[in-house]
Amino acid sequence: MIRFEHVTKRYADGTTAVDDLSFEVAEGELVTLVGPSGCGKTTTMKMVNRLIEPSSGRIFLDGKDISTVDPVQLRRRIGYVIQQVGLFPHKTVLENTATVPHLLGVKRAQARERAAELLDLVGLDPGTYGSRYPEQLSGGQRQRVGVARALAADPPVLLMDEPFGAVDPVVRERLQNEFLALQRKVRKTVLFVTHDIEEAVRLGDRIAVYGEGRIEQFDPPATVLGAPATPYVAEFVGADRGLKRLSVTPIEEGDLEQPPVVHLDDPLPRDLDGRWAVVLDAEDNLHGWISAERAGGARGVVRDHARRMEAWLPVGASLKQAFATMLQHDAGWIAVIDEESAGRFLGVLTPARLHEALRRSIDADAREIAREAVDLETVS
């Protein structure tokens, strides 16, 4: 969808902001551009909608050289979200969101209908917020309006320049979650500029790590964290990159242990192989757990003495979520289920298996092999 071919931006004073840049962004892909201030990431993004013109090289959008396209028409086909949002203070939220469709000649009623749909999509009830003015909104709400406005003309490409940088950490995390959920629905091609490696890792399908005007590494988040291409990238992502990688490493069935299991209508077991067992229903879906102490000192069936399972996650959730769930519930393990099969129990993830899964993932990327093919050496 977006292709850079040997693009350079050099200013009159001799400063080179971007130097011989070549990369591609696939349709529907979210690419994060990350690096320190002044490294050229925002310049890169602004060249896509011709707010900045390259000194040399070519940029293609959907196969067409953008230098041959009228800049105004080009910008109306590209959604643009910035940190300070840039809403019109004299217009209501609904009018702000309908701005681009109006400019494209869409009838007023149709534009407002589209705006209302998008406000609802970003979690703002148009009946409640549509008639308000920007000054009546919180920072997070204004940012959502900015995203809705950028999507109003249904653009194929979305450019986002540190859009969540001006809100507090709690709101920022919520906006990131909401944007990821939104992206799964709309599947836009997105260039997302940030200086925060954790945000880049969390959001990006691939990450472009910038040095001074150049991309030092352009890979999926797990690869950037597990196998930095250069010493610069290793330093930039930080010594704690292993911890960061937890957020992009999914739980797989091969990571799980198989504990003792019992079913709801089984008689209470008198001699559990271990201190506890997982309790399943008749369809092998997760129900809860029961301790050996509770089972051995009572009568009846398992159903009467099973405890609710609080610490569980679906397969495919991140190792970071697994670790956080263990800490939240002070649990020595978490149950893992298949949500697509109505909660079928798959196994449990322990801290030791979590650590092995992380090591196996890093080694697999470094050697370019499947995770299950990695043979870990352990110290007993």
Q: Read out DSSP for 86-119?
A: ---TTS-HHHHHTHHHHHTT--HHHHHHHHHHHH
Distance CA 124, CA 291 (A): 46
> What's the first-to-final CA gap in the chain, in angstroms?
51
- Residue 191: pLDDT over 90: yes
What confidence score (pLDDT) does residue 44 get?
A: 95
Percent of the chain exceeding pLDDT 90 equals 45
- Residue 380: pLDDT over 50: no
| 231 φ/ψ angles, rounded to the nearest 5 degrees | -55, -35
Lowest mean pLDDT among 135-149, 186-200, 318-332: 135-149
Q: Closest Cα partner for 352 from 244, 255, 261?
A: 255
| 367 φ/ψ angles, rounded to the nearest 5 degrees | -100, 0
CA distances to 158, 233, 375 from 210, rounded to whole Å, are: 20, 9, 34
Overall size of the chain counted in residues: 380
- Residue 74: pLDDT over 60: yes
Distance CA 97, CA 116 (A): 8
Whether the predicted model's global pTM rises above the 0.85 cut: no
Distance CA 60, CA 189 (A): 13
Give the HSE-up count for residue 294: Cα atoms under 13 Å, Cβ half-sphere.
12
Mean pLDDT of the region 188-216: 92
* pLDDT tier at 214, thresholds 50, 70, 90: very high
Q: Where are the chain's structural domains?
A: 2-244, 253-356
The CATH number for 2-244, chosen from 1.10.357.10, 3.40.50.150, 1.10.3720.10, 3.40.50.300, is 3.40.50.300
Neighbours of 380 (CB within 10 A): 2
CATH topology of domain 253-356: CBS-domain (3.10.580)
Comparison of pLDDT for 123 and 23, the residue scoring more: 23
- 86-98 b/e (C-beta count within 10 Å ≥ 16 → b): ebeeeebbbbbbb
Q: Are strands 334-338 and 276-280 parallel, antiparallel or unpaired?
A: unpaired
One-letter amino acid at 256 equals L
Distance CA 191, CA 210 (A): 14
* pLDDT tier at 379, thresholds 50, 70, 90: very low
One-letter amino acid at 29 equals E
- Residue 378: pLDDT over 60: no
Distance CA 175, CA 140 (A): 7
Q: Convert the pLDDT of each residue in 123-139 to its tens digit.
A: 889 999 999 998 998 88
Q: Are strands 157-161 and 189-194 parallel, antiparallel or unpaired?
A: parallel
What confidence score (pLDDT) does residue 258 get?
A: 93
Please answer whether residues 278 and 289 qualify as being in contact, where contact means their C-beta atoms are separated by less than 8 angstroms: yes
Mean pLDDT of the region 28-57: 94
| DSSP state, residue 269 | P
**Token pair recorded at residue 161:** 């320049």
What confidence score (pLDDT) does residue 85 get?
A: 66
Please answer whether residues 209 and 233 qualify as being in contact, where contact means their C-beta atoms are separated by less than 8 angstroms: yes
